[in-house]
Amino acid sequence: MAVSVVLIALGLTVVFSMVLIYQIWGQRSTAGLSASLIAFLMVAVIWWTIFYGLEIVSSTEGFKQFCFRAKFLAIVFIPVFWMLFGLQYTGRLQWMTARRIALLCIFPGVTTLLIWTNELHGLMWTYLGVGDIGGISLVTSITSTWFWVHSAYSYVLIMTASYFLFRQFAGSPGLYRRQLVALLVSVIAPMIANAVTIFGNQPIDYTPFAFAVTGLALTWGLLRFQLLELVPIARNLVVDSMTDGVIVLDAQGRIVDLNPAANQIISGITPDAIGKRLIHVIAMMDAQLDLTRWSATTGEIQDELVIGEGANQRTLDVKLSSLYDSHHKLSGRVVLFRDITDRKLAEQQIRHQNEALVTANHQLVEARKQAEHATQLKSQFLATMSHELRTPLNAVIGYSEIQLMGIAGELSGKQREYQDRILANALHLLGLINDILDLSRIEAGRMDLLLTPFNLQTWLDEIVLQNRVLAEEKQLVIEASIDPRLPEVIVADSERLKQVVINLLSNAVKFTQEGSVKIAVTRNDVDTLKIDVQDTGIGIPIHAQETIFEEFRQVDGSSHRQYGGTGLGLAIVRKLVVMMGGHIRLKSEVGKGSTFTIVLPLKAEISKTTTPEAMVQLETETL
């Protein structure tokens, strides 16, 4: 063989190796240690190739022998690099402790030592000389014991690494398989070449040329399939650390891979299940699943799988996706599943609570209807009763007055006193009955407002007049005023409005011992008018400011004894004001006085939709 051919081959090997180093050096950020190891490996290959070339071209025997020995530095360490690459690339990182790496290097270290001290013991070679082999001047040798130890050791490392790589890729989908081919070619090529050199008694060492093939295969694998970028181990790490279960099936539905989460979620699916058909494994677990649907469909399936019984029953959300190769042929399936038992239970609880709420709501609506009906019946009853009571009561009042006037003869002192009491109580009773009648009319929806235009001043004078006697008895002056911005005539139910204001004014007079009572009618804004009834009386404590608007409520029981009254006045006032489309509010402080304020629409409208309660705006600040 011509020297030039060998040298060209060696030169190509160096170029390929350099290209590869250049390529993978750029990939270190993504491929990490694997890329560095391949780079080291290729540096070793270049070392071997260069010294092999120098051995060929050198003219002195001494230098030839030096190059021969120097190239062995690469030869002995290349299997170690391969081994480390195989371990790293297949995820056996935890094996690569510094101690183990050091152990791996013991044999190559000893071999290197023996190579350079061979003259002393002849353990590597019994003879080393220079000879002409096929027209090429090379170092010839007769190998000795340690050479075979070194060869055996190298093959064990390379075979082990190949085994790991093969196992790693055997179950991987198509893309990884092609990476495997690239990798295996790169591993097997130098092995075969080396074997041929050693056992075939060949004059030339073909191994460095084979490494050209290795370089080519790795470069191809790297550029074409991103050999190092799509490192399967990265995928495995992701899949293994996922909380969702993952099962990979082949085209026949056999389990080829599963992650730890799959085993955790479905205890029946252990790594032992690999190789078995998933459907059989699930069938053994007594899962309620439409298996025919699963096995027949090739697209995407989302299903719920119930496994186990009683307290151990679990619901899984299962997603099955099909994988296709480049010829659109089904190559396998991936089953992803997660445990949704807790979510299902929570959903069920919410559903039950919702149902309970709907039922409670129905019951409430029913109860409300009944209550409304009962209120209406009560109001109707009271309206009728009040009417029936008033007639005889009017007779009592009428005859008492006649007797007191002396029409039926002169009364003795005692008789007059008794008649006075009869009349006072009858009048109180009549007031009470009138109030009840009004309230029940409003509640029964039988009170209609009669809107008429009336003169505001005349209307106010009448109100003041009605309260004057009582006020003068207590030396109180009623100050009444009307805002000049208001029209002289307004439209409202004058009688009902009068009832409202008289109620407030008589309360003001009743609960004031000294000071003043004021009534002011003002324009509130364009659409509303405001009536303030203000006194300097006993005031209303904060806790009672809300309740006094309810029926039969007074600030305290003594109020009834001391001031009389029924506790119905303000309840009627509020209901009437709301009917008129307005609202009432109160400001009061105990010992200083109270101000009741009514705000009404200027063009009075009848409001039946507003609830009286919603309309009361109470202000509890100090006056």
Binding site for ligand ADP (CB under 6 A): 503, 507-508, 511, 535, 537-538, 540, 548, 554-555, 559, 565-570, 594
Taking CA 69 as the corner, what is the angle to CA 68 and CA 72, rounded to the nearest 5 degrees? 100
CA atoms of 533 and 550, how far apart (whole Å) = 19
Classify strands 136-143 and 516-523 as parallel, antiparallel or unpaired: unpaired
Measured from the CB atom, the residue of 239 and 533 that comes closer to ligand ADP is 533
Yes or no: say if 589 and 620 are a contact pair by the CB < 8 Å rule: no
| CA distances in angstroms from 151 to 44, 81, 86, 370, listed in the order given | 17, 15, 19, 102
CA atoms of 597 and 588, how far apart (whole Å) = 11
* Least distance to ligand ADP, CB of residue 557, Å: 10
Measured from the CB atom, the residue of 205 and 443 that comes closer to ligand ADP is 443
* Least distance to ligand ADP, CB of residue 544, Å: 7
CA atoms of 475 and 489, how far apart (whole Å) = 32
* Least distance to ligand ADP, CB of residue 531, Å: 14
Measured from the CB atom, the residue of 217 and 584 that comes closer to ligand ADP is 584
Alpha carbons within 13 A on the beta-carbon side of 441? 15
Measured from the CB atom, the residue of 157 and 584 that comes closer to ligand ADP is 584
Measured from the CB atom, the residue of 248 and 517 that comes closer to ligand ADP is 517
* Least distance to ligand ADP, CB of residue 565, Å: 3
Measured from the CB atom, the residue of 168 and 506 that comes closer to ligand ADP is 506
* Least distance to ligand ADP, CB of residue 569, Å: 3
Provide the 10 A C-beta neighbour count for residue 219: 21
Measured from the CB atom, the residue of 368 and 428 that comes closer to ligand ADP is 428
* Least distance to ligand ADP, CB of residue 519, Å: 12
CA atoms of 71 and 54, how far apart (whole Å) = 10
CA atoms of 352 and 350, how far apart (whole Å) = 5
Yes or no: say if 115 and 193 are a contact pair by the CB < 8 Å rule: no
* Least distance to ligand ADP, CB of residue 563, Å: 7
In sequence order, the 6+-apart residues with CB closer than 8 A to the CB of 565 are 507, 510, 554, 559
CA atoms of 245 and 108, how far apart (whole Å) = 44
Mapped onto helix, strand or coil, the DSSP state of residue 98 is helix
Measured from the CB atom, the residue of 80 and 505 that comes closer to ligand ADP is 505
Scan for tokens 């309970």, then name that residue.
356
- Here the tokens at position 243 are 């909380």
* Least distance to ligand ADP, CB of residue 348, Å: 53
Measured from the CB atom, the residue of 317 and 546 that comes closer to ligand ADP is 546
Supply the DSSP string of 536-551, one letter for each residue. Answer: -SS---GGGTTGGGST
Measured from the CB atom, the residue of 344 and 553 that comes closer to ligand ADP is 553
CA atoms of 229 and 498, how far apart (whole Å) = 93
Measured from the CB atom, the residue of 150 and 574 that comes closer to ligand ADP is 574
State whether the Cα torsion 103-104-110-113 is positive or negative.
negative
SS (H, E, C) 23-37: HHHHCHHHHCHHHHH
The amino acid occupying position 344 is K
C-alpha radius of gyration, the chain, whole number: 54
Yes or no: say if 249 and 278 are a contact pair by the CB < 8 Å rule: yes
* Least distance to ligand ADP, CB of residue 618, Å: 13
CA atoms of 393 and 404, how far apart (whole Å) = 16
For residue 333, which phi and psi values (nearest 5 degrees)?
-140, 150
* Least distance to ligand ADP, CB of residue 477, Å: 16
Measured from the CB atom, the residue of 38 and 548 that comes closer to ligand ADP is 548
* Least distance to ligand ADP, CB of residue 457, Å: 24
- Torsion-angle region of residue 187: left (phi > 0), alpha (psi -120 to 50) or beta? alpha
Classify strands 330-339 and 477-482 as parallel, antiparallel or unpaired: unpaired
* Least distance to ligand ADP, CB of residue 448, Å: 23
Q: How many residues make up the chain in this entry? A: 623
* Least distance to ligand ADP, CB of residue 363, Å: 34
* Least distance to ligand ADP, CB of residue 497, Å: 16
- Here the tokens at position 38 are 């391949």
- Here the tokens at position 31 are 């491929």
CA atoms of 218 and 621, how far apart (whole Å) = 88
**DSSP character for 377?**
H
Measured from the CB atom, the residue of 317 and 550 that comes closer to ligand ADP is 550
Measured from the CB atom, the residue of 207 and 566 that comes closer to ligand ADP is 566
